[in-house]
Amino acid sequence: MLPQPQGAGAKQRAAICRAEARGLPRPPSRLYATRMSEQRCGLVAVLGAPNAGKSTLVNALVGQKVAIVSPKAQTTRARLMGVAIEEDAQLLLVDTPGIFEPQRRLDRAMVAAAWGGTEGADVLALVVDAKGGLGSKVTDIAESLRDRPEPKHLILNKVDLADKAKLLIHAERLNALLPFAETWFVSAQTGDGLPELKRALARAMPVGPWHYPEDQVSDATERAMAAEVTREQLYLQLHAELPYASAIETEAFKEREDGSVEIHQQILVERPTQRAIVLGKGGSRIREIGARARTELAVLLDRPVHLYLHVKVRPGWDEDRTLYRDIGLDWVD
């Protein structure tokens, strides 16, 4: 379970929700109550190897879910930004795909998106799975950051699961490769160390007006988030059975007159055997995927959701330029 929102911005959002539920006027916005000269706003690029816990960290700092998570490596495919507030600072947290050695076009596009997400950053935050130790993927990323001029923070994540005796060794080894401005020991899952990290990131943001309204938590469209929620359920329920080669294509996303939303999505797989796995016996698996995704989307979109899922075999879907655009990736050669 994610930690509860921290900071004055989260309290303001809660006050707005309470007022609206009781039919009262919205409380004064902190955005306008705070003098513009006192506001801070900046971009934090969150990067690291696959499965370091980057998306879980972004969700925890924002105070609610904005990025999907699963045990499957390389769950995050495209750049996504979460918006967090800490006192008078607005943090634009760019959740990037894991950086790894690409083998195919989709891999290259994901790695390009990861490095592209660091452009214009005010702080680079390297997230490391403290439980998994320091492999060549981690050290290669650290060395790639050596000549970058931005302040760099090292975040050793999953300390609740790590060998405590090795934490300082990991920190010392990485700081020897690349002197970091700050080193943090946190658990995005339990919330340990996150309040201190969030305050430090807020202090590092440059003075400037907020870029987003205080109640906006992400730059993702509802259509994009709907596809991500379904893909998350696909991975969570078929982690060991379904290969990485699957995608969600949203065919229709429309509002009904009663205020509900109707969503039609295709689950793309490469082979008929994969289609059978997704469907399950008598369609039981896809019904369960749909039911769980529908429940989460109703909460996320704050209205009833009618979700229709279909499974389609499309060999070579990862060579489709249109799908790359829908996913939020640039086509790479």
∠ at Cα 116 (110, 121), nearest 5°?
Answer: 135
Q: Give me the pLDDT at residue 49, please.
A: 86
CA pair distance 56, 68, nearest whole angstrom: 8
Q: Is the pLDDT of residue 42 over 60?
A: yes
- pLDDT tens column, 102-144: 455 566 665 566 556 667 889 999 999 999 878 888 898 899 8
CATH of 7-204, one of 3.40.50.300, 3.30.70.1400, 2.40.50.140, 3.40.50.2000: 3.40.50.300
pTM of the prediction?
A: 0.76
Could you tell me the pLDDT band of residue 190, with boundaries at 50, 70 and 90? Answer: very high
Q: Is the pLDDT of residue 244 over 70?
A: no
Q: Give me the pLDDT at residue 330, please.
A: 64
CATH of domain 222-327: 3.30.300.20
CA pair distance 2, 232, nearest whole angstrom: 16
CA pair distance 249, 268, nearest whole angstrom: 7
The mean pLDDT value for 244-248 works out to 75
- pLDDT tens column, 226-240: 998 998 898 888 876
> Exposed, middle or buried by CB within 10 Å (0-12, 13-18, 19+), for 311?
buried
Domain ranges of the chain: 7-204, 222-327
Instruction: Give which of 178, 200, 1 is closest to 89, Cα–Cα.
Output: 200
Alpha helices in the chain, H assignment, sequence order? 7-21, 30-33, 54-62, 105-116, 136-144, 164-177, 194-204, 222-238, 272-279, 284-301, 321-327
User: What are φ and ψ of residue 143, in 5° steps?
Assistant: -65, -30
Q: Which position has the higher pLDDT, 16 or 166?
A: 166
Q: Which position has the higher pLDDT, 189 or 100?
A: 189
Q: Give me the pLDDT at residue 32, please.
A: 45
Q: Give me the pLDDT at residue 214, please.
A: 86
Q: Is the pLDDT of residue 158 over 50?
A: yes
